[in-house]
Amino acid sequence: MHFVFEKKNVVAVVLLLLAAVLHAQEPVFRLRDLDNQWQEYADLKGNKLTVVDFWATWCQPCVRSIPLLNKMAAEYTDKGVSFIGVSIDGPRNQSKILPFIHSMGVTYPVLRDVNSELMSELGVTAVPTLIVFGSDGEQLYFHEGFRPGDEAIIQKHIEKFLSD
Amino acid sequence: MLKWFIIFLLLLFPATSIYGQLTGNNLFEYQFGNLPYTDPSDLSSHYDQLNLGYRYKGLKATVRYEHFLSQNEGSSYANLSQFQVQYRKEKLELKIGNFNETLGNGLLVRGYEIPGSVFEEEAYRSRYGFYRDMLGFSAKYSGDIWYFQALRGKSLVNTLPPTVPVEERRIDLVEGMETGVSLYYQTLGLILMRNSNPFEKDYFYSLLFSGSLPGLLSYNFEYAHNLAEDLPVFAMDEMSRFGMYGSVSFNLGSFGMSFEYKNYHNLLIGTGISDPPTTVREHKYKVLNRSIHVPQLVDESGIQLEGYYTFNNSEHLVVNYTRSLNEFFEEYLFSEVFVEYSFYPGHKSNLTIFADYASDEFKSEDTRYATGTVWEYSVAGSWSTQLHLEYQFIEREFAERTTMHNGVVILGLSKSPGLTVSMVWELSNDPFLTDQPDTPDIENGIRHWPGVEASYRINPTNTISLFAGKRRGGPACTSGICYEVLDFEGVEIRLKTKF
């Protein structure tokens, strides 16, 4: 068996494990929107909650979830909740994002994570994935996939976080 | 470089450990079984990928540990496969270590990762994360008017597993910069890039022109060309190496459309560090996904036209037309028409139907028809069922004319938010697949791939998945990246953890 397991590698992993989690950190990202303008999380986040939805043009469950999220965005924007769509489409599908999202009538901002870097950073491994952040940047809820009935569960969580 | 990374961590953590945040995720995959017609059939193996990230304000350090253990000799490894220190402040971003970056539209260089995917090559039988990163440094300044990016790194050949020495896995040294100015939503950019490996040293430049009329139209154009002493910088003859990509997208109310054009010639750079837009639709249906046309960067030109229309009740229509032409010694034409319609018959149902026609001369498949449907029905409360049917007919002219059929049936039951159980049955009479390599005869008939898939979300951060049965492999495309998936017969358990 071929092991490349050196002492220094172990030290690095142990050091990371020793660094205890004591404070939630607000996501720090800067991505281009559909008009090629840079957008920062700090400028887009909601006063109370921020809902970040990872999706792709080729993803069938995303196509079903986006109209429902759009309705939710309309309902909760005045209650301090911001919605952000993050397309993980690579260069292959970049030109399709704008017509796709406009034809769906999406009103919330949509950003482009071309290299899936934000996706990896937030531990997202499938689309659609929806993450709810608190006002301090703490990750409150993580929802992977989309099945009938999921919209009610997502809404229930948003209501709960708003009332807490 | 790893030594400096460790020293950095030693200095960083004592000072920030009580203020920072540790995040991570783990993917564990156990397989009991093997490829079909391969001994032993009861092969046992497991793969694990642990990603840890530590962030303090704009400073972040990440590491990735991967290991694979198998009875197959020479395929096991344990490896700290990625590390990165990243600093972000306002418009500035610096990265040292492993990173994924793309210059322009990827005509010259593209790093990528398909999160959560595990790759295996038949020649090595080793499983590992599927990414093509660079090891080096990257600096980016993204101002509102001016942007600049510089990178230098050794690109990973991701078809070679971690058991292969790193010197052989990273032979391309990529050095590049991209800069541009944006005014009134219009951007003009320039890329300069050098790629060197023991066999060649190539210089390229690229011109970028993109912009939008906000909310209405956007366009994107890139022209890349190599820089050689004996060739004019705009030459587009047989000896030249160039790539041209253009797209225009627009929308009017609920109607949206994109048009793309490509022309790539001798654009295979190094071990394949580039990944230009394919201008071919990426299908999610199994029978179509396996048939996706993969661009030949030696010579390929073509167009893609895709339109969307969303009706008032969220019903959604997609129409796509694709045409690609390869000129090697003779011309090979690929063309495809695809239509998909999603609608809601009754308030508890969601139905998607699709139809596809393609002709692919490069694969000697003159005629290819496919159709299918996905039906989702809410039974009661949070329970729902899914029925997924796909059928494909192919006429292939390879030595002799043969016709073949591919089919997929998936029946699933779900409970929102976390439980899904599906029965999957695939079948084909493709002679390339029905023939058993361990017998001297050529078998015909129908080959079946029955299986059961189950997934259960224990809580929002832990998901366990199970597969049992036979899984059909073949070409697959995910997130714009196409690769080969191996067949599998046996049991597979996956545990995804996030913290």
Backbone φ, ψ for residue A36 (5° rounding): 70, 20
**DSSP conformation letters of B103-168:** ETTTTSEE-EEEEEEEEE-TTT--EEEEEE-EEEEEEEEE-SSEEEEEEEEEEP-TTS-TTS-HHH
pLDDT in tens, B295-332: 999 999 999 999 999 998 889 999 999 999 999 889 99
Indicate the length of chain A as a whole number. Answer: 164
Q: State the pLDDT at residue A8.
A: 52
Q: How far is B20 from chain A (nearest CA, A)?
A: 6
Q: State the pLDDT at residue B135.
A: 97
Residues of chain A with C-beta less than 8 angstroms from the C-beta of B105: 91, 94
Does A105 contact B310 at a Cβ distance shorter than 8 Å? Answer: yes
Does A129 score more than 70 pLDDT? yes
Q: Find the mean pLDDT for residues B184-207.
A: 95
Contact with chain B for residue A36, Cβ under 8 A: yes
Q: State the pLDDT at residue B314.
A: 84
Does A119 contact B19 at a Cβ distance shorter than 8 Å? Answer: no
**In the A/B pair of chains, how many CB contacts fall below 8 A?**
267
Report the C-alpha gap between A152 and B5 in whole angstroms.
Answer: 45
Closest CA to B297 of B332, B260, B272: B272
Q: State the pLDDT at residue B377.
A: 93
The crossing angle, in degrees rounded to 10, of helices A7-18 and B2-16 is 20
Q: State the pLDDT at residue B399.
A: 75
Closest CA to B265 of B210, B178, B328, B222: B328
pTM (2 decimals)? 0.90
Q: Which residues of A9-31 are buried (b: 16+ CB within 10 A; e: fewer)?
A: beebeebbeebeeeeebbbbbbb
Closest CA to B342 of B356, B350, B352: B352
Q: State the pLDDT at residue B9.
A: 61
How many C-beta atoms surround the C-beta of residue B383 within 10 A? 16
Mutate to test the interface with A, among B2, B49, B50, B80 (most CBs of A within 10 A): B80
Nearest by CB to B308, from A103, A115, A125: name it. A103
Contact with chain B for residue A90, Cβ under 8 A: yes
Residue B266 and residue B241 in contact, taking contact as beta carbons nearer than 8 Å: yes
At the topology level, CATH places domain A28-163 in: Glutaredoxin (3.40.30)
Does A19 score more than 50 pLDDT? no
Q: State the pLDDT at residue A3.
A: 46
How many C-beta atoms surround the C-beta of residue B424 within 10 A? 21
Between A14 and B67, the higher pLDDT residue = B67
Q: Which residues of B179-198 are buried (b: 16+ CB within 10 A; e: fewer)?
A: bbebeeeebebebbbebebe
Q: How far is A94 from chain B (nearest CA, A)?
A: 9
pLDDT in tens, B414-469: 998 889 999 999 999 998 888 887 788 877 889 999 999 999 999 888 999 999 99
Nearest by CB to A60, from B69, B218, B352: name it. B352
pLDDT-derived band at A11, boundaries 50, 70, 90: low
Residue B14 and residue B467 in contact, taking contact as beta carbons nearer than 8 Å: no
Between B399 and B132, the higher pLDDT residue = B132
Between B161 and A2, the higher pLDDT residue = B161
Question: Which sequence spans correspond to the domains of chain A?
Answer: 28-163
Contact with chain B for residue A14, Cβ under 8 A: no
pLDDT-derived band at A21, boundaries 50, 70, 90: very low
Nearest by CB to A19, from B17, B247, B481: name it. B17
Q: Is A119 in a helix, a strand, or coil?
A: helix
Residues of chain A with C-beta less than 8 angstroms from the C-beta of B218: 34-36, 95, 98
pLDDT in tens, B83-120: 999 999 889 999 999 999 999 999 999 999 888 889 99
Q: What percent of chain A has pLDDT over 90?
A: 53
Q: State the pLDDT at residue A1.
A: 46
How many C-beta atoms surround the C-beta of residue B96 within 10 A? 21
Q: What percent of chain B has pLDDT over 70?
A: 96
Q: Find the mean pLDDT for residues A96-124.
A: 91
Does A115 contact B101 at a Cβ distance shorter than 8 Å? Answer: yes
pLDDT-derived band at B265, boundaries 50, 70, 90: very high
Backbone φ, ψ for residue B194 (5° rounding): -125, 135
Does B220 contact A94 at a Cβ distance shorter than 8 Å? Answer: yes
Does B25 contact A125 at a Cβ distance shorter than 8 Å? Answer: yes
